Structure 1
Amino acid sequence: MQKLITSLTLFLLVVLFLGLVVINNELLGDYRIDLTEDKVYSLSEGSQRVLNELDEPIVLNFYFSDAASKGMTSLRNYANRVQSLLEEYESRSNGKITLNIIDPEPFSEAEDRASQFGLTAATLGSVGESIFFGLAGTNAVDNQFTINFFDPQKERFLEYDISKLIYQLSEPEQVQVTLLTNLELMGGQNPMNGQLTPAMTFYSQLSQLYQVTTIGNDARQLPEETDVLVIIHPQNLSESLLYSIDQFAMRQGRILLFADSHYESDAMAMMGALQANQSQFPLLDAWGINVNLDKVILDGRLGLDIRTPEGSVTRHPGIIGLTAEQLNREDVITANLELVNGASFAPLALSPQSQLTLTPLASSSADSVAVDAADYALSQDPQSLQRMLDDTNKEKFTLVARISGPAESAFAAAPPSESAEDLNQAHVSRTTQLNLIVVGDADLLADRFWVQQTSFFGETIFTPFANNGDMVVNASENLAGSDALISIRGRGISARPFEKVQALQAKAEARFREQEERLQSQLQQTEEQLAQLQNVQTETGALTLTSEQQAALDSFISQRNEIRRELREVRYQLQSDIDKLGNYLKLITIAVSPLLLVSLLWLLARLLRRKASKKIREAIAA
């Protein structure tokens, strides 16, 4: 009887297990719990908003060379991560997204289709296999957008890239960018030398990506179709234009502002000037943003070397090179930039009463001071600027920032200069989400700070040596997306380090380096001895070694063999410690966890059986 009960219990446990598996796969597939530290397998609120705004069905074709990538463990793990996230998009889209997972085998129709989409096959592996690892999306009107290759180095922005592609498919119309400036962006005749100058490189890049409209400081209002407004070194803007910009911002329009304490790249403005060539944009104070255009940041650590009129080279603390250490690696705009050059930066901050949120994108080093812009404009000698660096007042300043949140309009009502015909919409007095990126410098847009020009068979070739243009394009691209897309930041990465293993490796490698340095030192000494021996043989014509020389050589060979044996022992101990740790983890994963689960199920079954027996006895007694 006892055997029958035990067998029945085991049978019921198996049935329960299979039933739970079926229920999980069929009914609970859309419900997941992401227990990772950075929630890398779930969607952020911004991505969910992008999915909620989908009006038409979208097809996502995920191409990964599964068969050709055998043995590429790291790449295949990342591919599983990408596929899992894409499946999450599909399950959360309410049927608006269809995901196709395709293995483009060589010489197949799938490979031809991947190439037609413009996906790039990377040559990887020991024998140079062509690996496709990209995403191609289409919408109902056959618009196509792609991610050519999922770079594991950009895993932190994987969700942003996928959400951006989905947003582009849902909003396929070209983005309208309005440039507000009086600078000669499109080139023309240089008034200093009479020569024709090409368009600024950043302007050419934007024109290739977006529909760009340029207006001057004398315009009365913004074009109605503006999606992104780029303001560069504004001065003397009319009240009607300021009101138009203010209302654009209050209606959650996106603005990229380049404001400068001293725009020194304008040759005409600098001729005979006795004061700083400052930008003027009074709306910032009303919105709760403090761009101190009366100050210029001098950085004793990041100042770039320039050539003086005398021909010498000296460091200029006002011309700054922002490296990866000063750029925000968590924001999509600056995450992959390495160098941004600029001059006479203005410090950025929020007003004390502001409700906005300021996220620094670029900052100076801690070896920086803020000096009067007027004094800076009059100081032509870098040596005098270096003397302005006061050791007692140095601090870190924000130079580029993303600013968002609630803000009040700078106008209580439409200005009297606006006629009824010009007001197409009612006055908006407040926004809950200001979308603004402020750069405290406009000089960084000038080619001389980031592009080198060379002549090649009569054509001018532009070669960037800094990432200024990339930052402008990244900022414009980010602002061109929806509010939901702008809100998405870099997420964590799925790969978690084995800290214990890394500690073991570091310890062994330290010992290895010590041994290696010993060996290298002895090798150098022996080579010197052998070189001396060669010289002696050359001078005397001797063909044999003396007993002392032979003894020295035998001693070195013996020491070298001993050190090599010690090196092998160090490597063996390293691998032995790692193997022990691996075996311990395997024991926990393979043996202990299932035993714990079985024990819990056995206790549950025993408890249920006791309750059943008790009820049976009570029923018999009754």
Structure 2
Amino acid sequence: MSRISAIASLTLLAFLFVGLVIVNNQLFGQFRVDLTENQVYSLSEGSKAVLKEIDEPVTLHFFFSDTTSKGMTSLRNYADRVKSLLKEFAQTANGKIVLKVIDPEPFSEAEDQANRFGLTAASVGAIGESVYLGLAGTNAFDDQFIIGFFDPQKEQFLEYEIAKLIYQLSDPEPVKIALITDLPVSGGQNPMTGEYTDSMVFFEQLSQLYNVELLSGSTTTIPDNTDVVMLAHAKNISSGLSYAIDQFAMNNGRVVAFVDPHYESDPVAMMGALEPNRSSMELLSSWGVKLSDNIILDAKLGLDIRAPSGGIVMHPGILGFTAEQLDRKEVTTANLELINGASVGALSLTEGTELTLQPLLSTSENAVEIEALSYLQQPSPDDLQRQMGETFASYIVAAKVTGKANSAFTEAPSALEQTHVSNTNALKLVVVADADILADRYWVQQSHFFGQPVYTPFANNGDFITNLVENMAGSNALISIRSRGSFVRPFTTVNDLELIAERRFREQEERLQQQLQQTEEKLAQLQTQQEQTGAVVISEEQQNAIDEFVQQRVEIRKKLREVRYELERDIDALGNFLKFINIAAAPVVLVCLLYLAARMLRRRAGKHWVEDEL
């Protein structure tokens, strides 16, 4: 009877468990708790704001080769991470995002669909099977954007890439840039040689990606529907255009400014200028951003150039900023490796400002400031090196500037009939204290192919410019999304065990290795002597020595294997303990708790039955 009662209790518990799972999935599936340190499974406020801006439903096609990727554990884990985040986007969008998960098996219609979208197929395995891990998005207007392949190396920007794609689908209008510059960006005649030059490569790049409209300094208005105002070494800006830029910024417009204490890529400046070729800074200064009049020299980042004498010399004023000088947590600079510039300046904020400066590009700790006139008067790199002295510091060369800023004007010009905005609480500004970054000679090499110019980049200047514009052209929410943490956490306990084990056994291993080396050397010496003497028959003493050394080698190798086993034993023990906890202990505890609950329920039921009988 008791056995039947136990079976009935277990059966009831099984049905109860299944019922609770169904209820949980149906009623509580939308409720989640993210206990990770960096909240990597939750959407940031910026992503949630992007989802709120969706007007028409969008469809996301997530392609992952689940069948082909069998055995690729790390890739499959990352694919699960991507799919989980996509589900979080779809769930938070409240029906405005339709997520389709597709397995593009070889030679299937799904694979043809992935190819039509233009997704990247990675070839793996001995026979080169194609693996897809990409995303294609479409909207009601047949616009289409893709992420060709989710690179696990860029996991920290996974949320940003997905949010950017969704934003592009919800706001498919082309980005419009108003470019204000005194540079010959569209080409023209070189005043020194009289030759005609091609358009600057950065300008060609931006024109291919966006709708770029060139504005002269005498213009008084900014075109309607402008997304980004870009200042590129603008020197002579009319008062009317200054006011238009100011009000554009005060009304939450985005501004990217390349300003320079001395733009030395100008042909006249290259021939030996008498005064610095400085960009206009009045407008930025009035907002609270300060560009030093001095030029930065850096003993560590200086590039090698050919001296007039024909030799190679380091120029401390022509700098190559490497990954160490870039903000690796910022989407605009995280994947860049080299940015070249010349005669760069230093950025800072004026006293009393309420702005915030987020550095994107900085010098090394081996940098100094010198006056711009001194820089011009010392064209020799050796002379510049001698002026550096021994007091060094690090300087900010490019930065995002946000926060509260006041207008540079107290009122609108009398000729304009418009409402004057006196301040903003959310200035969106990027300042780069160098305009030579834009010059072709610092980042592209020109060659000709069948009479057509071909440009090959040797630095990431073009990527840096494009990334800045792309990021600033997005929504306010998209701009606010920065890098997130990784969902792959380091095994700190395992690392600690490895360090302890290495300290404990490394000395013994080294001693055994030394003994093994000595033994093998003696054995080789005996064998060499035998070959040199040409003896066919060796003495018993020699044979015993050889046998002894061979036996020593065997024993030493055995001890080495034991030592290396000791190195991994503690780690294996930890792994086995964790496996026991996950596989055996947790279910055992759960069964015990259920058994105790069943006994309590049965005892209570028996007690009620006795009371009823009495």
Q: Same fold (TM over 0.5)?
A: yes
Paired position in structure 1 for 2:473: 480
Aligned-partner Cα distance in 1 for 2:80–2:536: 66
2-structure distance, mates of 1:315, 1:29:
62
Where does structure 1 lack aligned partners over 5 or more consecutive residues? none
Alpha-carbon distance in 2 for matches of 1:22, 1:29: 10
Shift in CA distance, 522/307, structure 1 to aligned 2, threshold 3 Å: farther
2:397 is aligned, of 396, 399, 409, to 399
Please give the root-mean-square deviation of Cα atoms over the aligned residues, in Å.
3.3
Q: Quick one: distance in 2 between partners of 1:550 and 1:452?
A: 70
Contact 2:296 2:368 in 1 (8 A): yes
Shift of 1:618: 9.5
Partner of 1:259: 259
Greater Cα offset, 522-531 or 272-281: 522-531
CA distance in 1, matches of 2:137, 2:345: 42
What is aligned with 1:443? 436
Residue in 1 aligned with 2:330? 331
- 1:55 to partner: Cα distance: 0.2
**Stretch deviating more after TM superposition (304-313 or 133-142):** 304-313
Contact 2:298 2:364 (8 Å CA) reproduced: yes
Q: Secondary structure at the match of 1:463?
A: strand
1:124-163 matched pairs, under 5 angstroms: 124-163=124-163
- Alignment match, 1:33: 33
Q: Secondary structure at the match of 1:55?
A: coil
Q: Which residue pairs with 1:573 in the alignment?
A: 566
1:291, 1:440 within 8 Å by CA — same for their partners in 2?
A: yes
**Greater Cα offset, 578-587 or 501-510:** 501-510
In structure 1, the residue matched to 2:494 is 501
Q: How many pairs align?
A: 610
- Alignment partners' CA distance in 2, 1:383 and 1:122: 50
Change (3 A) 1:97 1:306: same
Q: Which residue of 1 aligns with 2:232?
A: 232
Which amino acid in the other structure matches residue 407 of structure 1?
A
Residue 470 (structure 1) aligns with: 463
Q: Which moved more, 1:453-462 or 1:135-144?
A: 453-462
Match of residue 429 from structure 1:
422
Cα drift, residue 142 of structure 1: 0.8
Letter in 2 for 1:312: G
Paired residue for 1:410? 408
Q: 2: distance between equivalents of 1:519 and 1:569?
A: 15
Q: 1:549 to 1:606 in 2, by over 3 A?
A: closer
Greater shift after overlay, 323-332 or 543-552? 543-552
Of all paired residues, the percent bearing the same amino acid is 54
- Residues 444-463 of structure 1: matches in 2 within 5 Å? 444-463=437-456
In the TM superposition, what is the alpha-carbon distance from 1:9 to its structure 2 partner? 5.7
Q: CA deviation at 1:509?
A: 7.4
Q: CA deviation at 1:617?
A: 9.4
Q: CA separation of 1:351/1:606 partners in 2, compared to 1, >3 Å: closer, same or farther?
A: farther
Give me the whole-angstrom Cα distance separating, in 1, the residues matched to 2:599 and 2:348: 66
Aligned partners of 2:520 and 2:553 also within 8 Å? no
Deviates further, 18-27 or 586-595: 586-595
Instruction: State the Cα distance separating 1:485 from its structure 2 match.
Output: 0.4
Structure 2 CA distance, aligned partners of 1:205 and 1:556? 71
Instruction: For residue 138 of structure 1, report the CA deviation from its aligned partner.
Output: 0.4
Amino acid at match of 2:264: E
Counterparts in 2 of 1:248 and 1:514: CA distance versus 1, 3 Å: farther
Asked if the contact 2:523–2:546 (Cα under 8 Å) also holds between the matched residues in 1, the reply is: no
How far apart are residue 559 of structure 1 and its match?
Answer: 6.6
Structure 2 match to 1:179: 179
| 3-state DSSP of counterpart to 1:578 | helix
- The residue correspondences of 1:60-75 to structure 2 (distance < 5 A) are 60-75=60-75
Contact preservation (8 Å) 1:258, 1:438: yes
Partner Cα distance (1:288, 1:517) in 2: 65
Amino acid at match of 2:53: E
- Residue of structure 2 equivalent to 1:584: 577
| 2:105 match: secondary structure | coil
Which AA in structure 1 matches 2:220?
R
CA 1:553–1:295: 2 relative to 1, 3 Å = farther
For residue 371 of structure 1, report the CA deviation from its aligned partner. Answer: 1.9
Distance in 1 separating the partners of 2:537 and 2:176: 84
Aligned equivalent of 1:109: 109
Q: Which runs of 5+ in 2 are unaligned?
A: none
Structure 1 residue 460, shift from structure 2 partner: 3.0
Cα distance in 2 between the residues matched to 1:128 and 1:572: 37
Residue type of the partner of 1:581?
Answer: L
1:129 Cα deviation after fit: 1.7
State the secondary structure of the residue aligned to 1:337: coil
Change beyond 3 A, Cα 1:195–1:523: farther
The alignment partner of 1:146 has SS state of: strand
Q: Is the 8 A contact 2:59 2:97 kept in 1?
A: yes
Once the two structures are superposed, residues 356-402 of structure 1 have per-residue CA deviations (whole angstroms, 9 ceiling, x without a partner) of: 2211111111111222222222221222222232323x222111111
